[in-house]
Amino acid sequence: MKQITVTTLATMKRKGEKIAVLTCYDASFTTVLEEAGVEVLLVGDSLGMVIQGQDSTLPVTVDEMVYHASCVARVRQQALLMVDMPFLSYATVDLAVATATRLIQQGGAQMVKLEGGAQQLETVRILSQNGVAVCAHLGLQPQSVHKLGGYHVQGRDDKQASRMLREARELQSAGAQLLVLECVPAILAAEITCSLEIPVIGIGAGGECDGQVLVLHDILGLTSGHVPKFVKNFMQQGGAIQDAVGAYVSAVKGGSFPAAEHCFI
């Protein structure tokens, strides 16, 4: 099977081919997602909420991320395996290197993802210089939920938007090979996507991004409580789990997801 790599994703961006990303936390779903054509499997710290029942991602540990990543890595065949660096596990450059080392060597990660803009430039640079594939994350940053005062759309005012665009470019220059934009106005996300050479993956960031990511449990209608605006339940049309995942991939590839009702202005 042809392996999906960062080079593959960069080529897809240049060709205008949409990238389908989903969270994945175990071996069984890894097979389902790969068979449906998902290019990137994200072992997200969202597991704290959808697997562990926590009220945020903050309690998730490096040990837990290594465990779930290794479950996915054992059966992964071709999709790129990206793993979140959990809260405060990259507070310093040395700590970030240690965390990335564990996620790669013990968890099987092929790319690590970290949240933050300007404050993470040196970390991204050092990781990249040492052979680590890095995905940056701007917009709503769940690990900063207490600092942000909740889960709010980011980049709506001109100052925030300008800073986000600048930081996206700086992260790319520092060596980031992928960027996630979360809860960002669609017009700003489109501008950032066009300004970067690296692929941009959106979640609540409009349809002009190079790809989309959602939490697996959300597309299967397993979300309890408040359902975010950017979520679509692909199980509503009936069928099996495999059908829902396939429908998500097809919708991302065909451009029908996200629709206007899933986007922010």
Gap between the Cα atoms of 33 and 99, Å rounded: 26
The pLDDT value given to residue 100: 98
Backbone angles phi, psi at 121, to 5 degrees: -60, -45
182 has catalytic annotation: yes
The pLDDT value given to residue 22: 98
Q: Report the 10 Å Cβ neighbour count for 97.
A: 15
181: left (phi over 0), alpha (psi -120 to 50) or beta: beta
The pLDDT value given to residue 1: 72
Gap between the Cα atoms of 161 and 260, Å rounded: 20
Enter the DSSP assignment of 88: T
Low-confidence ranges of the chain (pLDDT < 70): none
The pLDDT value given to residue 224: 82
Burial of 165 (0-12, 13-18, 19+ CB in 10 A): middle
The pLDDT value given to residue 123: 98
Going by C-alpha positions, the residue among 96, 104, 91 that lies closest to residue 65 is 104
Q: How far apart are the first and last CA of the chain?
A: 40
Burial of 12 (0-12, 13-18, 19+ CB in 10 A): middle
Which domains does the chain possess?
6-262 (3.20.20.60)
The pLDDT value given to residue 225: 84
Rg (the chain; Cα; Å): 17
The pLDDT value given to residue 31: 98
The pLDDT value given to residue 207: 98
Q: Which of 34, 64, 115, 182 is catalytic?
A: 182
What are 117's two structure tokens? 């803009």
